Amino acid sequence: MKILIIEDEPQLAQSISEYLSGEQYLCETAINFPQAMEKTELYDYDCILLDLMLPGGDGLKILDALRDNKKQDGVVIISAKGSLDDKIKGLKIGADDYLTKPFHLPELAARIFSVIRRKSFDNTNVIIHHELEINILAKKLVVNRLLVSLTKKEFDLLLYFISNKNRVISKNALAEHILGDIADMLENYDIVYAHIKNLKKKLADAGCGNYLKTVYGSGYKWDV
């Protein structure tokens, strides 16, 4: 799962990034308004942590732009501005949650998980899909009652495909999801092919149906 931390306090941004990376999120940061606008326009995120007071602009304008562009990224506002008006305005524009500084990092992680679960997985911790049982909280996959060992990126890819079932996902989108904005530096998509090949093999070895299909010339699709 990919997170964008929009926060101009370097120490806080680093603390959040380190903690969430330990929770198996892929984290990127933006420290000012122009940088945040650029990243949110170019990339998609499972959840965005949005500070309202940024150098160069108002964080609520970023939220406005996201919703105007029909983007589905989850948004948790994190701000020292604790007024009720700011909170109500952010939620009306389209934020999914609001957390006032200072906060505890485990609480922030719980809010992020809740937003992602609600937006992508119908507010459930366990996804049942034919012979697959996926526990998104414990990060475990069971196929035909047997535990299947997946790497972090393989598990993340599986969730990404299932949350976008029946949609063709391009190799570029998959690279961004796996690697974040450094995907632009790739010379080819070998790393994407390798992760998908390993995921498909583990699913097939466990007796899983052939749901993950290659769409030649376009990308991949979880076909149900």
Same domain, 98 and 203: no
Among candidate residues 119, 148, 170, the one where a domain is terminated:
119
Q: How confident is the model at residue 224 (pLDDT cuts 50, 70, 90)?
A: confident
Residues 211 and 183 in one domain: yes
206 and 115 together in one domain: no
Indicate which CATH number applies to the domain containing 154. Answer: 1.10.10.10
Predicted confidence (pLDDT) per residue in 201-217, tens digit = 999 999 999 999 999 98
Count of positions (residues) in the chain: 224
Instruction: Give the whole-number percent of the chain exceeding pLDDT 70.
Output: 99
How many domains, the chain? 2
Q: What is the mean pLDDT of residues 27-51?
A: 95
| Rounded CA separation 131/218 (Å) | 27
Q: 161 pLDDT exceeds 90?
A: yes
> Residue 214: what pLDDT?
93
Distance CA 78, CA 100 (A): 6
User: Quick one: 193 and 99 in the same domain?
Assistant: no
Question: What are the backbone dihedrals phi and psi of residue 214, each rounded to the nearest 5 degrees, phi first?
Answer: -85, 130
Where a domain ends, among 119, 142, 166? 119
Distance CA 151, CA 202 (A): 11
Amino acid at 139: K
Asked if residue 43 and residue 16 are part of one domain, the reply reads yes
The per-residue pLDDT of the chain, averaged, comes to 91
The letter for the amino acid at 121 is: F
Q: Does 131 share its domain with 115?
A: no
Domain with 187 in it: 126-222
Same domain, 24 and 109: yes
What pLDDT, on the 0 to 100 scale, is given for residue 83? 67
Out of 66-70, 74-78, 155-159, 181-185, pick the least confident.
181-185
Between residues 180 and 115, the one the model is more confident about: 115
- Cα 84 vs. chain centroid, distance in angstroms? 28
CA distance 76 to 133: 28
What integer pLDDT is reported at residue 177 of this predicted model?
Answer: 86
Token pair for residue 58? 């108002």
Q: What is the CA radius of gyration of the chain?
A: 18
pTM: 0.80
Q: Are residues 8 and 112 in the same domain?
A: yes
Please tell me whether residue 211 adopts helix, strand or coil conformation.
coil
pLDDT digits 0-9 by tens, 44-94: 999 999 998 899 998 999 999 998 888 889 999 998 766 677 778 888 888
pLDDT at 182: 79
